[in-house]
């Protein structure tokens, strides 16, 4: 029952994240002590209550910037931040870019992704200098009657999908992929569909796209050979927003790969 109860807490947070929520009041409402609520929430949701609220506020910021075309100042207030600097720093930590650059880079990335669909294949994001014996084979499974355009798959250091993944890939026309040279350590696996809706703004506010994530961290050490199947589903009310800018990350990865290919032919 604890997992279901924590999902209730997460759903409540998603409806009230703009308010000044005190942990003591939240704990009393759900009949927990503050300590027990904090510990149980992190156990089942993979992040702290504070981190979850932060992700919800940045998700709101992304929506206001992309859909409402609001100024950064107005967006920071809508997202529940008193300080523009605090909002901008947190926004950049989640998305990889500042709020001012988000719109511009996102439009360029969107144009790139729509072309990537026709090319098919895999676009890999990985540190080219990393070498290990660890591998992970991932298969994403959609409903039989559904045809995805693009699927992003990645390993993250935390269950909250923020910051760039340790390794990642954009799959176009493919449902499985093997990551090689995975660094040692525990990572959470996340998959999310892109371009279900071809409107620009709908690819940065990922509220309805198919997704799935591992409940537990996957451990890699020395010579790990792991495999995972992800049954893609629609978002649940308790799911945190995906704040990392996946389209921009994909475009940057392509640029980096092109630069590496060029260097191989230079003296």
Say what the pLDDT of residue 264 is: 45
Return left, alpha or beta for 228; rule: phi > 0 is left, psi -120 to 50 is alpha, else beta. beta
What is the set of domains in the chain, with CATH numbers?
2-101 (1.10.10.60), 115-264 (2.60.40.10)
For the whole model, what pTM was predicted? 0.80
Of 90, 65, 92, the residue nearest 204 (C-alpha) = 65
More confident residue, 251 or 159: 159
More confident residue, 261 or 133: 133
Q: 131-159 burial string, b = 16+ CB within 10 Å, else e?
A: eeebbbebbbebeeeeebbbbbbbbbeeb
Say what the pLDDT of residue 128 is: 74
More confident residue, 229 or 116: 229
At 62, the pLDDT band (50, 70, 90 cuts) reads: confident
Say what the pLDDT of residue 1 is: 52
Mean pLDDT of 109-135: 79
Say what the pLDDT of residue 266 is: 41
Contact present, 77 and 86 (Cβ < 8 Å):
no
């Amino acid at each position: 029952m604890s997992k279901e109860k924590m999902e209730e807490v997460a759903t409540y947070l998603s409806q009230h994240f703009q308010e000044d929520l005190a942990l003591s009041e939240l704990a009393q409402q759900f009949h927990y002590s503050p300590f027990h609520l904090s510990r149980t929430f992190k156990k089942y949701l993979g992040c702290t209550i504070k981190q979850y609220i932060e992700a919800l506020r940045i998700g709101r910021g992304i929506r206001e910037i992309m859909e409402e075309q609001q100024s950064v100042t107005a967006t920071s207030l809508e997202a529940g931040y008193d300080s523009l600097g605090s909002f901008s720093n947190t926004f950049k930590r989640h998305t990889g870019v500042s709020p001012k650059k988000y719109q511009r880079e996102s439009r360029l990335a969107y144009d790139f992704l729509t072309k990537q669909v026709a090319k098919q294949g895999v676009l890999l994001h990985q540190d080219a200098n990393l070498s290990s014996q660890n591998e992970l084979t991932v298969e994403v499974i959609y409903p039989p009657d559904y045809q995805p355009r693009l699927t992003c798959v990645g390993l993250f250091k935390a269950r909250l999908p923020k910051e760039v993944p340790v390794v990642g890939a954009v799959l176009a026309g493919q449902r499985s992929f093997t990551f090689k040279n995975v660094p040692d350590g525990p990572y959470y696996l996340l998959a999310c569909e892109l371009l279900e809706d071809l409107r620009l703004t709908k690819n940065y506010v990922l509220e309805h796209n198919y997704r799935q994530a591992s409940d537990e961290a996957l451990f890699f050490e020395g010579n790990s050979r792991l495999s995972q199947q992800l049954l893609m589903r629609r978002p649940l009310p308790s799911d945190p927003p995906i704040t990392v800018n996946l389209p921009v990350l994909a475009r940057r990865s392509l640029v980096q790969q092109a630069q590496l290919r060029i260097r191989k032919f230079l003296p």
